[in-house]
Amino acid sequence: MRRPTDIEKYQGNYSEKGLLNKLSKVARWAGAKVVYAVLLLYYVLQSPDVSSADKTKIWGALGYFILPTDLILDFIPLAGYTDDLAALVYALHAVAKNITPAIKERAQAKLATWFKSIDQDKIDEAIK
């Protein structure tokens, strides 16, 4: 079984185009928790103050998310994105110091374009 701590090895699968393409196709299927985690990492990655080590973790987690065939296949109902969420949460914890209120606001605003009715407190709690 792959451990989230090995997530950096998936950084070669990351591309901004690939990420945005995957999100546009699977946002509603993956769910608000997964999408919010992806958006937080994506916006942290755009910050000029993020260290190379933190970027490597983010690229790895987002690269893992992009992969269609990972530990649990993404198309499996209810379970398909649980491994992705684990990798994303690992990366979020690793780079938490970089998540500013402005980044959270951007992620929440974008999340609202896919999910009209969300409980942000439940989303935040799920990714802690």
Asked if residue 60 has pLDDT above 80, the reply is: yes
Residue with tokens 């070669």: 12
Q: How many domains, in total, are found in the chain? A: 1
* pLDDT at res. 27: 79
The per-residue pLDDT of the chain, averaged, comes to 82
pLDDT band at 1 (very low <50, low <70, confident <90, very high): very low
- On whether the CB atoms of residues 50 and 98 are closer than 8 A, the answer is yes
How far apart are alpha carbons 5 and 15 in whole angstroms?
20
Is 8 within a domain? no
Residue 37 falls inside a structural domain = yes
pLDDT at 53 over 80: yes
Band (pLDDT 50/70/90 cuts) for residue 122 is low
Q: How confident is the model at residue 30 (pLDDT cuts 50, 70, 90)?
A: confident
**108 sits in which H/E element:** helix 101-114
**Least confident span in 12-21, 33-42, 67-76:** 67-76
- Rounded average pLDDT over 91-105: 94
pTM given for the model: 0.80
The verdict on residue 9 lying in a domain is no
- Enclosing domain of residue 45: 29-126
Is position 20 within any domain?
no
Q: How far is residue 39 from each of residues 1, 4, 44, measured CA to CA in Å?
A: 26, 18, 8
Q: What is the mean pLDDT of residues 83-95?
A: 88
